């Protein structure tokens, strides 16, 4: 073949390759412009504002699963780190929704915070597409809701168990009386025991009603002003008979007069319960101290006994409903396990607290702390 033909073929091939290259470059440029347009497409109007006003945690992600908007709640729950989701379960759910296009709801445990190991929170998470390009993640903290549900379940279980004991005892004693109707001494003994169980059932019912009333009502909504010394006098007087039966001296000592705002009836009930516990769990022929002082505008009522004391690992639990350190001893004293729970709720409803110091073999001191009422303003005489 003549060399000129080779030159001509080379020129034609060069033109073909050049044309193809130009075409491919054009397609690449067009594709690049499309990608840039998609990447630069703004989030729909209102989405950012909506996420930032959500009460729950909200996060918006783009197609590459990068966080582009996160609400304050999401940061508070520590869901976001940089531009990524911290929780692997949440990120996996996002990928599944991208794949299926169907919204997904899941319950998960999330470790919030990284200092000191953090702590677990229970979240309900909803993941849903937001148009074709974005993904919305909403998370609600259900930790407190689930805790309260557990408390309610425990309360129902506890009250069912506690009520079974006196009711069952009354039923058995009634049958025993019927069987021993011709033995007056046995009937008298059984009747006395029935009276004890009936009294215990009555006290438990009253304390349950008191506890429910305290939890349902806010005493500061209709607060009255009353002197703490008067509360102590009434509470001591209500425990005189019980103390005299055990030859225990109740020794009140008011170091400083002060007033408290709230419900005088409820505060008296709390102090009365603390004194009653001290008397019941103290040995005979000892004494119970009741001291009142004011420290930094806080009224402190301290009740000290000479009882057996409370082990350190039990001290946090004594304020739980129906919790008793020694159930057998409580049956003897007639305790219901609700008294200290009532004290705790009365203190909290008045903006105060109750604390415990105790050492086995040396006794216990329960201290009720309540805010002191401000001194009343005096009008100047014209």
Higher-confidence position of 186 and 310: 310
Give residue limits of the domains in the chain.
47-141, 143-216, 220-376
Which has more pLDDT, 128 or 195? 128
CATH topology (fold) of 220-376: Heat Shock Protein 90 (3.30.565)
Could you please state the CATH topology (level 3) that the domain comprising 47-141 is classified under: Beta-Lactamase (3.30.450)
* pLDDT at residue 294, as a whole number: 94
Model confidence at 256: pLDDT above 50: yes
Task: Calculate mean pLDDT across residues 245-251.
Answer: 93
Q: How confident is the model at residue 131 (pLDDT cuts 50, 70, 90)?
A: confident
CA neighbor of 348 nearest in space, from 279, 263, 258: 263
The reply to whether 47-141 and 143-216 are identical in fold is no
Question: Quick one: average pLDDT of 91-109?
Answer: 93
Of 10 and 68, the structure prediction assigns the larger pLDDT to: 68
DSSP strands (E only) in 113-262? 119-130, 134-141, 224-227, 249-254, 259-262
Please state, in angstroms and rounded to a whole number, the distance separating the CA atoms of residues 335 and 360. 20
**CATH number for the segment(s) 143-216:** 1.10.287.130
pLDDT at 382: 47
| Per-residue pLDDT, 175 | 77
Q: How much is the average pLDDT of 190-199?
A: 76
Distance between alpha carbon 347 and the CA centroid of its chain, in Å? 16
Query: Which of 210, 215, 292, 222 minimizes the C-alpha distance to 259?
Result: 292
Look at residue 7 in the predicted model and tell me its pLDDT: 56
Average pLDDT, the chain: 80
Pairing of strands 249-254, 287-295: parallel
% of the chain with per-residue pLDDT over 70: 73
Q: 175 versus 75: which is more confidently predicted?
A: 75
Q: What is the pTM of this model?
A: 0.54
Q: Is the pLDDT of residue 298 over 80?
A: yes
% of the chain residues with pLDDT over 90? 35
Q: Which residue has the higher pLDDT, 94 or 48?
A: 94
CA distances from 239 to 194, 207, 276 (A): 23, 17, 6
pLDDT digits (tens, 9 = 90+) for 334-353: 555 678 888 998 998 899 99
Give the Cα separation of 267 and 371 in Å (integer). 12
- Better-scored residue on pLDDT, 184 or 218: 184
Burial of 117 (0-12, 13-18, 19+ CB in 10 A): exposed
- Name 110's bridge partners: 121
Indicate whether 165 pLDDT > 90.
no
């Amino acid at each position: 073949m003549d060399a000129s033909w080779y030159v001509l073929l080379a020129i034609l091939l060069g033109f073909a390759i050049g044309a193809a290259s130009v075409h491919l470059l054009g397609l690449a440029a067009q594709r690049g412009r499309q990608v840039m347009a998609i990447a630069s497409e703004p989030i729909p109007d209102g989405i950012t504002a909506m996420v930032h006003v959500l009460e729950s945690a909200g996060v918006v992600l783009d197609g590459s699963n990068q966080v582009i908007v996160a609400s304050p709640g999401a940061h508070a729950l520590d869901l976001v780190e940089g531009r990524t989701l911290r929780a692997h379960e949440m990120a996996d759910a996002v990928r599944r929704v991208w794949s299926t296009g169907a919204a997904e709801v899941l319950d998960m445990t999330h470790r919030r915070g990284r200092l000191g190991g953090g702590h677990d929170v229970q979240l309900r998470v909803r993941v849903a597409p937001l148009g074709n390009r974005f993904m919305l993640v909403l998370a609600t903290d259900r930790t407190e809701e689930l805790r309260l549900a557990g408390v309610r379940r425990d309360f129902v279980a506890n009250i069912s168990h506690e009520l079974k004991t006196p009711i069952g005892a009354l039923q058995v004693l009634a049958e025993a009386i019927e069987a021993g109707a011709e033995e007056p001494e046995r009937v008298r003994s059984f009747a006395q025991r029935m009276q004890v169980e009936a009294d215990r059932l009555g006290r438990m019912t009253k304390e349950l009603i008191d506890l429910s009333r305290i939890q349902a009502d806010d005493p500061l909504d209709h607060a009255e002003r009353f002197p703490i010394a008067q509360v102590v006098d009434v509470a001591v007087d209500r425990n005189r008979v019980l103390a005299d039966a055990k030859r225990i001296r109740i020794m009140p000592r008011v170091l400083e007069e002060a007033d408290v705002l709230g419900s005088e009836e409820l505060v008296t009930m709390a102090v009365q319960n603390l004194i009653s516990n001290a008397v019941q769990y103290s040995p005979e022929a000892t004494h119970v101290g009741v001291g009142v002082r004011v420290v930094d505008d806080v009224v402190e009522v301290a009740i000290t006994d000479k009882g057996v004391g409370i082990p350190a690992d039990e001290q946090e639990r004594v304020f739980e409903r129906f919790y008793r350190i020694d159930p057998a001893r409580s049956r003897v004293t007639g305790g219901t396990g609700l008294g200290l729970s009532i004290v705790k709720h009365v203190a909290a409803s008045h903006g105060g607290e109750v604390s415990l110091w105790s050492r086995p073999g040396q006794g216990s001191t329960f201290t009720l702390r309540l805010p002191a009422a401000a001194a009343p303003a005096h009008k100047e005489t014209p």
